[in-house]
Amino acid sequence: MSIATVMVVGAGQMGSGIVQVAASSGKSVLWQDVSAVALEKGLQHIAHNLDRSMAKGRLSGSEKTAILERIEVTPSLDQADRAQLVIEAVTEHMPVKQAIFRELDAVCPPETILATNTSSLPITEIAAATGRTGQVIGMHFMNPVPVMPLVEIIRGLDTSQAVFEAVEQVARELGKTPVEVQDFPGFVSNRVLMPMINEAIFTVYEGVASPEAVDTVMKLGMRHPMGPLELADLIGLDTCLAIMEILHEGFKDSKYRPCPLLRKYVKAGRLGRKSGQGFYRYSE
């Protein structure tokens, strides 16, 4: 299957990154979000990223213009029938995703592939909201999307081999390295990463060390490029909590119990970089 046009649903950090890499790879991109403000902000963010690439000599002015011209924004999912592949990248909340997939299923031709960028929710359950379970698949991009080379590709129970191969090829066309993983809570990336972040939060909660000390140990002692608490702030503490809750519910194992301090910070609105404060304070 040749995929020339991609629709991305969601104008958050992940959606913006997916749009940028898709347009940069030469694909026509439809970008949908119910918020015109979010779409405009997303376009500005992409333009800023492209300006940085120009400043480093990696991109010309004409190439930047061409990339931006390949992006078309829309507030409606009705335009999804123009795309061969739709990638959903909205909040990690199953009812929201299922509602979007039901609407996409009604709008798109039967051959359209419907992908979700979920980082932890079951692909099979999302697919069950449609009448095309064989056309639904997981494409879990890493954050920040323009920089990170990995895409986890996750089959649902009924995902066809043809769909898997088409999405694997698209990932390569986007300059990414696709890795197949199975449909288990958290897949591989977050099943390994989030318990580490959660344990780092426990060390702060229990008074073992300060956030700065925990991050320094992991950076200097384990050669991590970013400390786990810095990373949690970048991801968003609300997202970290949501993933831990999915792992805890999915496996029924106490080792995935979210740290009480993580819950407290989220309830207090300390969500990390996006709110200006998490384990660290951030200025605009």
Three-state secondary structure call for residue 108:
coil
- Which residue would you say has higher pLDDT here, 143 or 82? 82
Domain match, 34 and 58 both = yes
Q: Considering 157, 182, 207, which residue would you say is the last residue of a domain? A: 182
Averaged over 158-175, what is the pLDDT?
Answer: 98
Q: What is the pLDDT of residue 1?
A: 72
Averaged over 139-156, what is the pLDDT?
Answer: 96
The answer to whether position 117 is within a domain reads yes
The pLDDT mean for the chain works out to 97
* Known binding residues: 10-15, 33, 92, 97, 119, 143, 274
The answer to whether position 241 is within a domain reads yes
Give tens-digit pLDDT for 61-71: 999 999 999 99
Asked whether the predicted pLDDT for residue 283 surpasses 90, the reply is no
Structural domain boundaries enclosing 36: 5-182
Supply the CATH number for residue 256's domain: 1.10.1040.10
Averaged over 76-105, what is the pLDDT?
Answer: 96
Asked whether the predicted pLDDT for residue 284 surpasses 70, the reply is no
Averaged over 155-161, what is the pLDDT?
Answer: 97
Domain match, 177 and 194 both = no
Domain match, 16 and 157 both = yes
Q: How far apart are CA 71 and CA 84, in angstroms?
A: 15
Q: Considering 163, 182, 201, which residue would you say is the last residue of a domain? A: 182
Domain match, 68 and 150 both = yes
Q: Which residues are catalytic?
A: 119, 140, 152, 190
Three-state secondary structure call for residue 179:
strand
Question: Phi and psi at residue 237, in whole multiples of 5°?
Answer: -65, -30
Domain match, 230 and 267 both = yes
The answer to whether position 268 is within a domain reads yes
Q: How far apart are CA 86 and CA 108, in angstroms?
A: 9
The answer to whether position 283 is within a domain reads no
Contact residues for 194 (Cβ-Cβ < 8 A; gap 6+) = 186, 240, 243, 244, 247
Averaged over 149-161, what is the pLDDT?
Answer: 98
Domain match, 31 and 152 both = yes
Contact between 17 and 117 under an 8 Å Cβ cutoff? The reply is: no
The answer to whether position 232 is within a domain reads yes
Domain match, 152 and 45 both = yes
- Provide the percentage of residues in the chain whose pLDDT is more than 90: 98
Domain match, 173 and 197 both = no
Helix (H) / strand (E) element for 216: namely helix 211-216
Asked whether the predicted pLDDT for residue 137 surpasses 70, the reply is yes
Averaged over 219-233, what is the pLDDT?
Answer: 97
Q: Could you tell me how far CA 198 lies from the centroid of its own chain?
A: 19
Domain match, 36 and 53 both = yes
Domain match, 233 and 147 both = no
Supply the CATH number for residue 96's domain: 3.40.50.720
Q: What is the pLDDT of residue 262?
A: 98
Asked whether the predicted pLDDT for residue 265 surpasses 90, the reply is yes
The answer to whether position 61 is within a domain reads yes
Q: What is the pLDDT of residue 2?
A: 86
Contact between 273 and 234 under an 8 Å Cβ cutoff? The reply is: yes
Domain match, 235 and 120 both = no
Q: How far apart are CA 261 and CA 242, in angstroms?
A: 14
Asked whether the predicted pLDDT for residue 132 surpasses 70, the reply is yes
Q: How many residues does the structure list for the chain? A: 284
- The residue with tokens 């951030």 is 282
* Known binding residues for NAD(+): 10-15, 33, 92, 97, 119, 143, 274
Contact residues for 73 (Cβ-Cβ < 8 A; gap 6+) = 30, 31, 32, 33, 36, 39, 43
Domain match, 14 and 151 both = yes
Contact between 90 and 10 under an 8 Å Cβ cutoff? The reply is: yes
Contact residues for 142 (Cβ-Cβ < 8 A; gap 6+) = 148, 149, 150, 151, 189
Q: Considering 182, 216, 234, which residue would you say is the last residue of a domain? A: 182
Number of domains in the chain: 2
Asked whether the predicted pLDDT for residue 90 surpasses 70, the reply is yes
Q: What is the pLDDT of residue 174?
A: 98
The answer to whether position 279 is within a domain reads no
Give tens-digit pLDDT for 172-223: 999 999 999 999 999 999 999 999 999 999 999 999 999 999 999 999 999 9
Q: How far apart are CA 202 and CA 198, in angstroms?
A: 6
Give tens-digit pLDDT for 7-65: 999 999 999 999 999 999 999 999 999 999 999 999 999 999 999 999 999 999 999 99
Contact residues for 69 (Cβ-Cβ < 8 A; gap 6+) = none
The answer to whether position 281 is within a domain reads no
